[in-house]
Amino acid sequence: MKLLRFGEYGREKPGLLDADGNIRDLSGVVPDMARDALASDSLARLKALDPTSLPLVPAGQRIGACVGNVGNFIAIGLNYADHAAETGAAIPAEPIVFNKAPSCIVGPNDEVIIPRGSVKTDWEVELAIVIGDRASYVGANEAMNFVAGYCICNDVSEREYQLERGGTWSKGKGCPTFGPLGPYLVTKDEIPDPHNLSMWLDVNDERRQKGSTRTMIFNVAKIVSYVSHFMILEPGDVITTGTPPGVGMGMVPQQFLKAGDTMRLGIEGLGEQYQRVVAFEQQGVDTSRGLKSESPLA
């Protein structure tokens, strides 16, 4: 299944993409595509539905983040061997775990805001795992049982905040709009091998990242198991799993995003995202309401 959320920012409704590419309204079945609606028993009920029995959503709707009310938004750093090489970093012995603020999550085609004073805002196409069932101290051999599915995450990052301001990486990872998710959550039954997916990202229609999940250092099962030994993972939690090479920080000379730039990115089987980059206005940008979305559904 391809599950999504549509409508105004903060008022999204749950939906399902049918075989013809039409959005069907699930709000009469589940209150949101969030939390317990993503548990395995709930997904089984959704899969048993006849999509044609659900209301058809008019075309042109804004597409929101495919998961709502995210509790834990976890990220794994330097998880691609070729990306570690471009940054000059050693291959990690264990997964590098940090947090992205859930408040940074936006829709896949919403504008991305450069933070006030930022000069090193960067891009990262990533495969994100969506948790389906509560996981605590699970083994790698059973970890896939706790996965609901996958989606695209653009792990937008401010490198100065991340690496030059002291403390943890989280300072450069959780700024408003730094977590576009979607366009849809694809359930794991449709992605039999998440470790063999091509992925790419363009800036201003120029290919910057081109890679594959084949170069992941720690696979999905290892990541879910590992993180579950440090925190309880709940239904609807998101773990974004690292990026292939081609980020701005790794270029010579380094290149970073500026107002007016565009990003288009995709992962095989998971769709595409498109974002326009805007500056933080002098008076500030109100991110508590809907942001401009450039395209309804990639």
pLDDT of residue 86: 82
Selection from 13, 20, 17, 18 nearest residue 3 by Cα? 17
pLDDT of residue 84: 78
What does the mean pLDDT of the chain come to? 94
Strand partners, 121: 158
- Tens of pLDDT, residue by residue over 210-266, are 999 999 999 999 999 999 999 999 999 999 999 999 999 999 999 999 999 999 999
Distances (CA, A) of 140 to 131, 143, 155: 14, 5, 25
- Tens of pLDDT, residue by residue over 80-134, are 988 878 878 788 999 999 999 999 999 999 999 999 999 999 999 999 999 999 9
CATH number of 67-279: 3.90.850.10
Map out the domains of the chain as residue ranges. 67-279
Residues in contact with 146: Cβ distance below 8 Å, sequence separation at least 6, in sequence order:
131, 132, 133, 134, 135, 138, 224, 228, 233
Residue 130 burial (10 A CB sphere; 0-12, 13-18, 19+): buried
Report the share of the chain in percent with pLDDT over 90: 88
Q: Check pLDDT > 90 for residue 298.
A: no
pTM for the whole structure:
0.95
CB 280 within 8 A of CB 116: yes
Backbone angles phi, psi at 21, to 5 degrees: 85, 15
- Tens of pLDDT, residue by residue over 47-77, are 999 999 999 999 999 999 999 999 999 999 9
Q: Check pLDDT > 80 for residue 290.
A: no
Sign of CA dihedral 136, 139, 143, 145: negative
Sign of CA dihedral 75, 217, 2, 188: negative
CB 159 within 8 A of CB 122: yes
Question: pLDDT band for position 283 (50/70/90)?
Answer: very low
Report the share of the chain in percent with pLDDT over 70: 95
Backbone angles phi, psi at 41, to 5 degrees: -70, -35
